[in-house]
Chains A and B, each alone.
Chain A
Amino acid sequence: MMSIAPGWDMSPLTSSYWTTSCVISLLVLSFHAMSSPSLVEAFSSTSQLANQQRRPGLDLALFGRTRRQRQLHPCAISRQNIVGPTLSRQRQQNQQLFIHGRPFSKFYVASTSGPLVNFGDNNKNPAEDESEEYLWECIIDPNSDDECAYYRQSYTPLKKTGTWSLRPEEVDHVTLKDKAAMAAAAVTGIASFAVLIFFSGPGAWRFFLAGGLCAAASHAIPTPIDVVKVREGPLLSQSFYKIKHGWVLISYMYPFDDHSDVVADEETSGFRVTVDVLYPCNSENYQG
């Protein structure tokens, strides 16, 4: 039997298999629990989304400042332009960024098996990209002059969930639940390691400490290399994103009081709101 370290007591080591398994299981279960809808406001239940999709004209609204015409996929989207509240009203509404106690929310991209034009690059002729399929999502910053703050690839695996998440708005609002979840995660992580080290026997801490420090240092030093690789690598070479499987909508869930307030007046003060009603590509309801 080899000597692992001075003063090493071999007897507790027999429990290390079980300790490791228990700690990993504990971690997985903890994060499972934390992913419950009560802790994660992800609006991701299928029924909620199904309801939204059944009533696209009522609850799905995409707003932005449409000074320039967006190039949306004609097959997937029909649009109406309406004029939104005035700036003062907008400011007022921005201060009330909660809908039924939830943060002001938006939800994302509709796409289908059909192609989507490249609307991430307005200098390009959309026709050039018709042969390509993209999955995209559009993030809209209500406080930005840009119609779309940025475009990015959607990270939601469609087939696995069978639905799309309705995601909370990027309002920097840390709820008590967030704090509790983060604290629970940190405490669980630290406790798991403490338990693991404790049951690993006397002297085992030096392996964990040395291993952690050496790995952190050796990976932190080449961080700039990683950044350049990732930024200039395949992720950035995609100027726009693929659309596949199913359909979803980019939309803000905006607390409109009155949808009949549809006015197409460029001169109206305030910001312009676009309501995009999305249909699946093969839908007979397509009005685009």
Chain B
Amino acid sequence: MSFILATRKIIKDEGAGALWAGLGPTICGYLLEGAMKFGVYEVLKPTALTLLQSLSAATSLPFLKNQVIAFVICGIVAGTAASFVLAPMEALRIRLVSEPSFAPKGMIQGARRMVKREGVLSLWRGIKPQIYKQVPYTVTKNVSFDYLTRMAYSVAIAGGVGVNAGTKTTIPLLAAAVTSILACISSQPGDMLLSLVSAHQGEVRSTHDFAKDILKSDKGIRGFFVGLNCRMYHMGITVTLQLVLYDFLKRLCGGVATGM
């Protein structure tokens, strides 16, 4: 069944409102996840740079004194923290979407039922695949966007273009578009595992079992990248929008543009 036919079927059977199932957990979950992901990343950057500088001086390893390495470390910490924040809301969202009768009254009812029936820790059951997806995604997204904008502003300034309203719109947009592609590719294996685990929650199989299955299949490692093209459209729009919005909102709050 094609995507459009599936959409029509849902609207016909359950009304247009059904398409917005799980909106509450999505907004709450990603509000917290985004805050954690971007906040922790930005806040840790100076500390990570300082630590690496100290480490480089102490160990006489000059390559440690590298901005990108510092950014990657920040991205790993931020991605892990964001996974823990997002996992419960994602579990709730998936339950509400896949099983509308579970909590017809919405996310509060759904959360209460999940906690009462399965315990609080069940909300973090999908944490492992979530981390597999979120950490590469966050590292690639934040570091690439940071690095690309930084590079682009340097080129613009060196080329005499200067930093004006036009460059402050164009550079984040282009950097975000490139970043979205990279983030999509890097997080695809994790997303594949997360999808499989979510779809087979009743099975007693670990995330590693699913990974092994994929690797043992005839596609091999390419099995992790099945559906990448379709996801690219979806993720491309989402990530580009997210990063452009982030840069805009940050400046709106009085911060400097990313990469400046």
Contact = CB atoms under 8 A, between A and B. Distances in A.
Contacts of A2: 45-46, 49
Interface string B228-253: 00000010011101110110011011
B255 A20 contact: no
Given A24-B84, A178-B112, A204-B42, A209 B27 contact: no
B241 A241 contact: no
A220 B47 contact: no
A9 B93 CA distance: 39
How many interface residues does chain B have, given as a range?
Answer: 35 or more
Given A17-B44, A213-B31, A234-B195, A167 B116 contact: yes
Contact of A13 (B3, B28, B47): B47
Contacts of A212: 30-32, 34-35, 38-39
A17 B249 CA distance: 25
A244 B205 CA distance: 11
Contacts of A225: 234
A252 to B, nearest CB: 14
A284 interface: no
Q: Is the interface of A mostly helix, strand, loop or mixed?
A: helix
A41 B116 contact: yes
A207 B42 contact: yes
B63 interface: no
Interface string A187-228: 001000100110011011111111111111111111111111
12 contacts: A2-B49, A4-B42, A35-B120, A40-B116, A42-B117, A165-B119, A181-B115, A204-B42, A216-B30, A226-B97, A228-B7, A233-B195
Interface of A: 1-6, 10, 13-14, 16-17, 20, 24, 27-28, 31-32, 34-35, 40-42, 44, 135, 149-150, 152-160, 165, 167-168, 170, 172, 174, 178, 181-182, 189, 193, 196-197, 200-201, 203-228, 230-236, 238, 241-242, 244-245
